[in-house]
Amino acid sequence: METFRIPAGSTVYAGKPANPLSQNIEQEISRCISATEGIVEAHLPMCYIREIMPKPALVLVIVVDPAVELDSLMAKVGQVVRHALPEGTSLDIWPLEPQNPVLTLVRNANCMLFARGSSKSFLSNLSNIFRRH
């Protein structure tokens, strides 16, 4: 799996997707990703970078502990995502360190799957359950 790099000076857009993944798929990704050591938080916004993306795409943004070996972590995340998605479907995965300025845009999209040590994950999941039923 090739690691995605956002070129310096790029304009990044992030927002709530009009057509999110199904609740079951989001929950499966969240469950598996939250159990993966080295991931601090995860989000699933719609993103676009004009300089390198042909069109906006749903992206799994993971905030990684800088002490973790990234290639190994990305291999694990790739397996989780492939297992959770329907066959023939793909999902971009962006690893960001906690101090990356793009993270503010991603957080503002309000598409958090989980945050380690935060009640936001619980409240977000609870909100999603009530909103969809």
Does residue 3 lie in a domain region?
Answer: no
21: helix, strand or coil:
coil
CATH code at 33? Answer: 3.30.300.30
Amino acid type, 79: Q
pLDDT, tens only, 93-125: 999 999 999 999 999 999 999 998 754 444 444
On whether residue 34 sits in a domain, the answer given is yes
Q: Would residue 62 count as lying in a domain? A: yes
- How many CB atoms within 10 Å of residue 85? 15
Instruction: Specify the pTM.
Output: 0.83
CA distance 85 to 70: 22
Task: Please tell me the total count of domains within the chain.
Answer: 1
Residue 1 placed within a domain: no
Residue 10 has pLDDT above 90, yes or no: no
Domain assignment of residue 97, yes or no = yes
Domain of residue 22, residue span: 12-132
**10 with 51: CB under 8 angstroms?**
yes
